[in-house]
Structure 1
Amino acid sequence: MAVLLALTGSASAPGTSRTARLVQDIGRRYAAHGHEVRHLDVRDLPAEALLSADVADPEVAHAVGLVARADALIVASPVYKAAYSGVLKTFLDLLPQYALRGKSVLPLATGGSPAHVLAVDYALRPVLTSLGADVAQGWFVLDRHITVAADGSVTLAPETREALAPVLDRFGEGLPTGARLAAA
């Protein structure tokens, strides 16, 4: 079974972030297939340590260690000004040059407009590739297609659920044991 790190770059609190909720929901699906899923919300790391690139800070060092120990990652961010979040960029800049070498990475982005769909391929994918990742087909999800219930459960619009299922399946098939999620 794989150790999967779900890395979220939303500046919003996890309880209010649709991006974080979407990633938590996807993580539960992989966990149901026997994978160990760990979550890291970059916004929870100490801002001063992030901004000063203090990799000796215990929380930052722990986060970098989570990346190193993961077999694969989901890297998700809301789109701000046609790119992924600055807090995610700051964290990715702290990683060693080839920190993602040999790791499958699924890039995901959320946003309010279809005009931001290219942020996955033109902003996030190049950075992940430069870190050595085997980047899977990424996906963009419109905010309005994500509904979060009072209990925290996530419902995707049917067209989004149908389009995202094969992306998650392909990524899951690359993990040890090849988890298919279409039925989940």
Structure 2
Amino acid sequence: MATVLALTGSPSAGSRTARLVHHVGARLADHGHRVVTLHARELPAEALLAADTGNPAIARAVELVAAADGLVIGTPVYKAAYSGLLKTLLDLLPQHALRGKTVLPLATGGSAAHMLAVDYALRPVLASMGAPHITHGWFVLDRHIGTGPDGATVLEPETEVLLAPVVDAFAAALSGRAEPALSGRPEPALAAGR
């Protein structure tokens, strides 16, 4: 069993990104992994902006990253890049904070035009932090993330079908097994899960 840190980089309290990350976390828990959640928006703003690693909440966030075997990092896409909140948190971590960790990058946004942010904005930063294995990332349109009558996250059916093998491949990588083959890289419209 691996410990996974589910990190959300959305500043919004009603974040669809957070709902997506929780949904993925539940699937990873079904695989037998221990999932711990960290919402960057809940960290004290002044300490976060000052990179005050002496602040107990910031120090705890750094410890959670260090203790994790893998991370699911979710961000909304703003202006063709990941959130400034996520960038602020990543900036205060040690340079090689992701060394030895498996990472699954996820992004949400309002338009398929932002889907490349996972590969062209977020992935290079994660690689620069030492992540040796960044699994196939995924982008989901905001409108395909909803809430059911019981309050549970509900994904648009096609999005659910396309996301499942991505999460399963990450779970397999955490378990030290070879990644299950995805059925080829989806076409952009399908990858967006829109």
TM-score range, shorter chain: over 0.9
1:129 to 127, 130, 136: 127
Aligned positions of 1:142-153 closer than 5 A: 142-153=141-152
Percent identity, aligned pairs only? 65
So what's the TM-score if we normalise by structure 2? 0.88
2:64 to 47, 63, 66: 66
Q: Which residue number corresponds to residue 5 of structure 2?
A: 5
C-alpha separation in 2, matches of 1:148 and 1:177? 33
Gap change, CA 1:150 and 1:49, over 3 Å in 2: farther
* Deviations, residues 88-122 of structure 1 (Å, cap 9, x unaligned): 00000011011001100000000000000010011
C-alpha separation in 2, matches of 1:43 and 1:119? 21
C-alpha separation in 1, matches of 2:87 and 2:149? 31
Aligned Cα root-mean-square deviation (Å): 1.5
- Provide the secondary structure at the position in 1 that maps to 2:125: helix
* Deviations, residues 124-165 of structure 1 (Å, cap 9, x unaligned): 001000001121110000011111124331111122112111
Unaligned runs of 5+ in 2: 181-194
- Provide the secondary structure at the position in 1 that maps to 2:113: helix
4+ residue segments displaced more than 4 Å: 177-180
Aligned positions of 1:66-105 closer than 5 A: 66-105=64-103
Count of aligned positions: 178
Unaligned runs of 5+ in 1: none
Gap change, CA 1:177 and 1:132, over 3 Å in 2: closer
So what's the TM-score if we normalise by structure 1? 0.93
